[in-house]
Amino acid sequence: MSGRRIAVLGGGVGGLVAAGALARDGNRVTLFEGSQVLGGKARALVANGHTLDVGPTVLTMPQVVRDTFAALEATDLLPELLPVPLQCHYQWPTGKTLDLHQDLERTVAQADAFGPGEGERLRRLYADAAGIYQALGRPYLESPYDGPLKLLQRAWRVPGVARLAGSTLQTLDGFARARLTSPELVQLIGRFATYVGASPFEASATFAMIAHLERAEGVFHPRGGLAGLAGALATAARRLGVTVHLGTRGTVERRGSELLAGPAGGQEVFDAVVVNGDPLAHQGRTGGTLSLSGYVLLLEADRRLDLPHHSILFSRDSRAEFDALFSGEQPEGSTLCICHPAATDASMSPPGKSGLFLMFNAPALREGDEARWPERAAALRTEALERLRAAFPSVRDARLSVLGERTPLDLLALGAPRGSIYGFVPHGRLGPFQRPPMRSRTRGVVFAGGGTHPGGGVPLVMLSGRFAAQELARA
């Protein structure tokens, strides 16, 4: 249905996609964004000639990205998607290392160093992960989630779906342990749970399909960074006629037959509303266990470093790390994620210099944590610098300067419940299918973003925006 007045509350990736799609279909769309910058968590720090993403740094599922821009009549705005064939360099406290390539054979060839026959076992694991994607992932991602029955009806056409679906009743850690003997490689596969802010010891083996998607479809870096991708979506939405109000936090309520949305004290009547925000925060359901948060440190090196685009320095004890995080504690020696975007895109840093993004997972905030974070951030800053220098010889002689940092308090300020990146945590065997629904309890209101279907990560949030527009179109 076109010609309606529709409000979009929040200008993150999901909100921008929904707004653009609704405007393209002939609706009058007004977007309210509380900050002065569009893009939500996909934003960047620009300093000393560096551009460093402070939100997501990994882009997968490139066809979803291309299809989204095409649907918004904005293919001309899409930044070049640069492939990252060495997808991640891994290091363990045991001294072992592995370079994960999109070319599975290159990865498998290294795996036998972790135990006899481990390469072939890893190959079979990837085959099972591909099967999970075909059986459940593809049907789950192809349309708005409308319950387990309809999902199974779509999935039933996949050969062997019962066996593949049955394997997802394991945890991700259990899935890896059933197929691999190396504790290091088990930890590597378990890391994919953190893509949705979860623990591999609690999250479903369904998330093994992330490993398959990275291998099958590739990892990419949009030229100019992920924030530039969000900026292009903002340009597309405005070009389609979306009216944007920055610095204006919108709210929504229904009074009788009228749906009111907009800034407090200045609400107007709309026919429908898209809330691009976390459903749990919107509904006041922020207690209990939430997904992980994060601490980010942004650095300048006085030389161009010989580092891959992505690196992971694993913790010594994965179980202890996640037990601490989901108990609300910040573990020492936890897994450190490093992004060096100039390895792929030289324009991200000035010639002869490098910018670095370093991140530790952090627990969602508890009462009193606001006062603890300055001291906690200082300790994490010191630990990150020490571990970075110890892991990479090319960094040891470089002069490193701090450009900025982000803590869960910054995420809280963006509306993330208790500073949690994704809000809902998909723990439990059926966790992926229990996200807060897209349709709000308030008639005429739908959600878009990483907190609802189909989940977090830029491509999935793009799908969420498209699905939100579809839900309103058929309302």
* CATH of span 5-42+61-79+226-287+423-473: 3.50.50.60
Report the alpha-carbon distance of residue 6 to residue 386 in Å, rounded: 50
pLDDT tens per residue, range 76-97: 999 999 999 999 999 999 999 9
Strand order in the sheet with 268-270: 250-255, 258-263, 268-270
pLDDT confidence of residue 178: 96
* CATH of span 103-217: 1.10.405
Query: What percentage of residues in the chain have a pLDDT greater than 70?
Result: 94
Does residue 253 carry a pLDDT above 60? yes
Q: Average pLDDT, stretch 210-216? A: 96
Report the alpha-carbon distance of residue 346 to residue 256 in Å, rounded: 56
Non-local (6+) Cβ contacts of 25 within 8 A are: 2, 469, 473
Instruction: Check: CB of residue 291 under 8 Å from CB of residue 423.
Output: yes
Instruction: Check: CB of residue 52 under 8 Å from CB of residue 341.
Output: yes
pLDDT confidence of residue 158: 59
pLDDT confidence of residue 139: 78
Dihedral sign computed on CA atoms, order 207, 213, 215, 220: negative
Largest CA-CA distance found in the chain, in angstroms, rounded: 69
pLDDT confidence of residue 209: 94
Q: Average pLDDT, stretch 350-361? A: 98
Beta bridge partners of 19: none
pLDDT confidence of residue 68: 98
Q: ∠ CA 93-97-99 to the nearest 5 degrees? A: 145
Instruction: Check: CB of residue 145 under 8 Å from CB of residue 453.
Output: yes
Beta bridge partners of 50: 47
pLDDT confidence of residue 430: 79
Does residue 474 carry a pLDDT above 60? yes
Domain boundaries, the chain: 5-42+61-79+226-287+423-473, 103-217, 292-418
Report the alpha-carbon distance of residue 316 to residue 318 in Å, rounded: 6
Does residue 355 carry a pLDDT above 80? yes
pLDDT tens per residue, range 153-208: 555 565 655 566 666 679 999 999 999 999 999 999 999 999 999 999 999 999 99
Instruction: Check: CB of residue 450 under 8 Å from CB of residue 15.
Output: no
Instruction: Check: CB of residue 300 under 8 Å from CB of residue 355.
Output: yes
Report the alpha-carbon distance of residue 410 to residue 419 in Å, rounded: 7
pLDDT confidence of residue 147: 62
User: Measured between alpha carbons, how far is residue 325 from residues 189, 318, 319, 420, 434 in Å?
Assistant: 18, 11, 10, 12, 22
State the first-to-last Cα distance of the chain, in angstroms, to the nearest integer: 8
Does residue 460 carry a pLDDT above 80? yes
Q: Average pLDDT, stretch 96-118? A: 97
pLDDT confidence of residue 153: 59
Query: What percentage of residues in the chain have a pLDDT greater than 90?
Result: 83
Report the alpha-carbon distance of residue 32 to residue 10 in Å, rounded: 6
pLDDT confidence of residue 134: 86
Token pair listed for 451: 């907190």
pLDDT tens per residue, range 415-439: 899 999 999 999 998 788 888 888 8
The residue type found at 151 is L
pLDDT tens per residue, range 284-318: 788 889 999 999 999 999 999 999 999 999 999 99
DSSP 155-201: HTTSTTHHHHHHHTTSBHHHHHHTT---HHHHHHHHGGGGGGT--TT
Q: Average pLDDT, stretch 13-30? A: 98
Does residue 382 carry a pLDDT above 60? yes
Angle, to 10 degrees, between the axis of helix 13-24 and the axis of helix 458-473? 40
Q: Average pLDDT, stretch 450-464? A: 93
Please state the pTM of the whole predicted model.
0.94
3-state secondary structure at position 224? coil
Instruction: Check: CB of residue 56 under 8 Å from CB of residue 41.
Output: yes
Token pair listed for 62: 């490139």
pLDDT confidence of residue 150: 60
Instruction: Check: CB of residue 155 under 8 Å from CB of residue 135.
Output: yes
Select from 401, 414, 302, 412 the least CA-distant residue to 352: 302
Q: Average pLDDT, stretch 324-341? A: 97
pLDDT tens per residue, range 220-246: 999 999 999 999 999 999 999 999 999
DSSP 37-65: SSBTT--EEEETTEEEESS---B--HHHH
pLDDT confidence of residue 154: 58
Compute the mean pLDDT over every residue in the chain, rounded to the nearest whole number. 93
